[in-house]
Structures are given as C-alpha cells and as structure tokens.
Amino acid sequence: MDILLKAENICYSVDEKISRRNKEEKHILKDISFSVIKGSILGISGESGSGKTTLAKIITGILIPTSGKIIFNDSNSDNSRTNKIQILFQNNGEILNPFRIIEDIIIEALLIRDKKINIEIEKKKNLSSVNFPEHLWKRRGFELSGGEMQRAALARIIAVKPELLILDEPFSAQDVESQQNLLNLFQDINKNFGITMICIVHNLKLIRKLADEMLIMYKGEIVERGKTKELFTEPRHPYTKFLLKAENYDLSYEEFIKMKLQ
C-alpha cells in the first residue's frame, strides 16, 4: 500500500499573552506522527481545541509547524503540495466569491489544471459529480443556500484534481438527509476520482460510516488510532470511551468532570 502523506513529529506552539508583560508558550500540537495511505479516508476526531484544524492547516501548508515535517508523495518540499492538497473549510460561504457566477468559477479552476481540455464536457462532468443541479450553474454565490454553496466549493476543489482532500467539519449545521447525501458524495469522490481524504468531525457516528482509519485527538496529542471498526467496537483509551459514551448522551455529570480533571 502506497503512503501518500506522512506527518513526522509535528509540534506547533504559539505565545499566549497572560499579562501585560508576560507571555507563555502554548502547545497546540505535541509530537504528532501518522501516515495516510493513498486512496483511503482518514477520520480525525476530538473536542474543540484538540488541534484538529491546526493540524489540517499544517498539512496544507497554511501554517508552518514549530518542528517536525510533512512528507507528501515522498517529498518534503512545500512546493510539492500546491494544488495537490485541497481543503474544504467549515464556513463554505466564505470560500467562494459571492458575486461570481458558479459556472465561471468552475471553468477557471478547470483551466488551471489543463488549458487543453474540452471545457463543456469537463464542466458538465464536474458539476454533475457533486450533484449540483444545472439550473443553478448560472447563479452567483450569494444566491445559493448553504448546502448548495458547499457543493459548489467542492466542485471547484475537484476541478483541480487534488490528490488529497481535507474536509473540516463538513456535516455541521446539516439536516439528517443532507448529511446522508454528503456522506454518499464523499464516498463517490473517493472511489471515482481516487482522491485520498482526511475528514475532521465532531460527530463520531457519521465518520464511522466513512473513514477507513481513525485518529482520536485530545489536547494536542493523538491518544488512539486504528481501523475504524476496531476503534468503535474495542476502544482502549479512556478519552475514546468518553467520546463514544457522550455521543449516545449517556454521560453523567460526574463522568464528564472526571474526564476533564484527568
């Protein structure tokens, strides 16, 4: 099995102001190492502040780690990741220019990839692959609903044919049917385009249906990792057990506090 991406001993810290004169180093990520197999879907879960989005930004090159390295396609160079890694952020409305016609955005992205393609065929293929209906192609961003905007953003990402797609909380604020449709869409993209994915979610039940492997993060560290099925049926780390119990709304207040104090 080919490894597409390897994270080696990634650390990330920032200076946090604690008083007018004093700063303290805050460790956001502590010694993170993992690899992603080509063609697979990796799920990353953990509570807010565990470092998931920071890790995603480091993988894409938006942030530079304090130490450690990201190796993509056996290359350590930042240049190797341009366009080959794409990220779909949580606030999709801010990704697309609200005043541009969606079709024009997609055509522009397709031409970035290859100026010699048949634009009409590729455009149709691209927008159909994310179930973006034809009657919306000539709309502008501000005229779309949240779900439609998300699909348009996804279409633009796929247009540049990335090798790795990072999804940051793609299911938040979606109704049940939309979540199901999105899950199916991500599976199709992974299968039909061969795009490797990293999916960051709060909702363990959704990621269980999508990811081949999982990482559970807590306070900047990976506390558990493994095949999704095994992780859910035989969790080992107390925090993973806590998350699974919380998902089922089975936690007592005492159990919650005990976890927080550990």
Please give the residue ranges that form the binding site for another protein (CB under 8 A): 47-48, 145-147, 172-178, 180-181, 183-184, 187, 202, 204-205, 209, 242-243, 246-253, 256, 259-260
Look at the block and give the residue holding tokens 């010694």.
31
Amino acid at 159: A
Closest to 157 (Cα-Cα) out of 218, 207, 92:
92
Q: How far is the CB of 142 from another protein (least distance, A)?
A: 15
Measured from the CB atom, the residue of 7 and 210 that comes closer to another protein is: 210
Q: How far is the CB of 184 from another protein (least distance, A)?
A: 4
Measured from the CB atom, the residue of 84 and 209 that comes closer to another protein is: 209
Helix (H, G, I), strand (E, B) or coil at 161: coil
Q: How far is the CB of 74 from another protein (least distance, A)?
A: 34
Measured from the CB atom, the residue of 101 and 183 that comes closer to another protein is: 183
Measured from the CB atom, the residue of 66 and 178 that comes closer to another protein is: 178
Dihedral sign for Cα 30, 35, 39, 40, please. negative
| CA distance readout (Å), 261 to 26, 223, 256 | 19, 16, 9
Given a contact cutoff of 8 angstroms between Cβ atoms, the answer to whether 103 and 159 are in contact is no
- Neighbouring residues of 88: CB distance < 8 A, sequence distance ≥ 6: 95, 150, 153, 154, 157, 165, 166, 167, 168, 170
Measured from the CB atom, the residue of 6 and 202 that comes closer to another protein is: 202
Q: How far is the CB of 54 from another protein (least distance, A)?
A: 14
Q: How many CB atoms lie within 10 A of CB 195?
A: 20
Q: How far is the CB of 216 from another protein (least distance, A)?
A: 13
Measured from the CB atom, the residue of 121 and 176 that comes closer to another protein is: 176
Q: How far is the CB of 251 from another protein (least distance, A)?
A: 4
Strands 164-168 and 196-201: parallel
> What gap in Å lies between CA 207 and CA 120, rounded to an integer?
35
> What gap in Å lies between CA 164 and CA 187, rounded to an integer?
14
Q: How far is the CB of 18 from another protein (least distance, A)?
A: 13
Measured from the CB atom, the residue of 42 and 204 that comes closer to another protein is: 204
